[in-house]
Amino acid sequence: MSTETTEMIKDFPATQAGNRVGWVSTMQYGEGCEPGLTQINMVTATVGSEGAKLSHRHCEDEKSKYTISNQSGFLAISGIVATISPRALNEPMFETNFRYATPERHGNYDGILLSNGVGQHTPDSDRGHREWATGPSDLIDLLKQKMTDAELAELYPKMYYLFNGTIDQEYPYSEPLRGNELGIEDLLMPDSAMRNTTDEQIEIVRSILAQFESQILNDEKMKRDLTVFGTVEASDIADEFEGSRRRAHESELEITEQMSKLALRRLVYVPTGQGKSGRSWPYMDASESNESAAFGQELHFLKEQDISNTNYQLEQEIKELSGRSAFARDAYLRLEDLRQAESQC
């Protein structure tokens, strides 16, 4: 004999149409894990014109018991999850524990993401208590409170820029919301208290963009100097190339310095050899301090009067720099959108 019951989780009336709603949960890991290690899950969605509902259908028979999540009326569903700890600020790689998800990235089933969160496949209560909020400002307040309770308040800016920076954005770590017809102003969840921080982030990204542009111009000049159209004598090409590579390295060091000031590095910065425009090793590497490893092979060929390898490496580096710059520029534009939203809330 089988039984089936329906549990209504949330029911938003049509009067709340257009509201960005959602929930936040925190779950602290137990014995055997780092003290204070906490998972924060946050899911947001927009209430449709006729309202929105989320329910659980509980099914049980002689062999199994399971729950099916059903939703109707919710638009632009997305979620983020982060596993962080009080010492995360001192861990350079901890941002790899941040994930963004849309229904398509979460099994192509929006009810599961809305009900369970990112990386979770059952609505079990031991996954952390889900507390709902009925508007962007309420969601912000709820996230702040949850992080404060978990003694992680200082990491709030990272979560803030994670969900505002990645939603409906084409990144290596995220993707646009399929079928979304809402404008970005309807998806962002601005916090007026973050205005100054966002201004600072924008200035940092501007500085990084300037460095990318400088490197591209540096490489383009070096490419010209390898040809008859250049201004450098053939006998001086090797020396000019060394100077060019040192300038490129200094620029990468400046980018690294600016990157360290970002609230969320992965929103803006893609290292050499990574991302959609990343080159495959071996390649001429401006981030490498050892000059022999960074550009020794190219320098050797130039001294042998062979420009083909160096010209190719410069072409590939320009392509990668353009991709890294485009990535940072997308983040810059999103931060500008966020700043505008912050000024109006």
Annotated domain spans of the chain? 3-189, 197-344
What average pLDDT score do residues 66-79 get?
88
Residue bearing the bigger pLDDT, 72 or 169? 72
Number of helices (H) and strands (E) in the chain: give both, helices first. 7, 8
Across-strand partners of 47?
Answer: 74
pLDDT tens digit sequence for 316-327: 999 999 999 999
Size (the chain), residues: 345
pLDDT tens digit sequence for 166-201: 888 876 666 777 778 889 999 999 999 999 999 999
CA distances in angstroms from 90 to 86, 178, 288, 306, listed in the order given: 9, 36, 23, 46
With 60 as the cut, is the pLDDT of residue 244 above it? yes
Residues 6+ apart with CB under 8 A from 115: 9, 54, 56, 69, 71, 123
Alpha-carbon gap, residue 248 to 216, rounded angstroms: 9
Max CA separation in the chain (angstroms): 90
Cβ atoms of 118 and 43 within 8 Å: the answer is yes
What average pLDDT score do residues 203-225 get?
97
What is the amino acid identity at position 302? L
Alpha-carbon gap, residue 165 to 334, rounded angstroms: 6
- What are all long-range contacts of 238-246, with beta carbons under 8 Å and residues at least 24 apart? 238/299, 238/302, 238/303, 241/295, 241/298, 241/299, 241/302, 241/310, 242/291, 242/295, 242/299, 244/218, 244/219, 245/284, 245/286, 245/291, 245/294, 245/295, 246/291
Of the ranges 4-18, 195-209, 287-301, which is most confident?
A: 195-209
Mapped onto helix, strand or coil, the DSSP state of residue 310 is helix
> In this predicted structure, what is the pLDDT of residue 126?
47
* DSSP code of residue 278: P
> In this predicted structure, what is the pLDDT of residue 257?
95
Alpha-carbon gap, residue 29 to 153, rounded angstroms: 18
Q: DSSP states of 45-93 as a string?
A: EEE-TT-EEEEEEEEE-SS-EEEEEEEESEEEEEEEEEEE-TTGGG-TT
3-12 and 98-101: which strand pairing?
unpaired
> In this predicted structure, what is the pLDDT of residue 125?
47
With 60 as the cut, is the pLDDT of residue 221 above it? yes
Phi/psi of residue 80, nearest 5 degrees: -135, 155
Alpha-carbon gap, residue 275 to 32, rounded angstroms: 34
Residue bearing the bigger pLDDT, 37 or 343? 343
Tokens of 40: 């924060």
Confidence of residue 207 (pLDDT cuts 50, 70, 90): very high
Confidence of residue 108 (pLDDT cuts 50, 70, 90): very low
pTM, to two decimals: 0.88
Alpha-carbon gap, residue 156 to 309, rounded angstroms: 47
Tokens of 11: 């029911």
Q: CA quadruple 104, 107, 59, 10: dihedral positive or negative?
A: negative
Tokens of 254: 């400046």
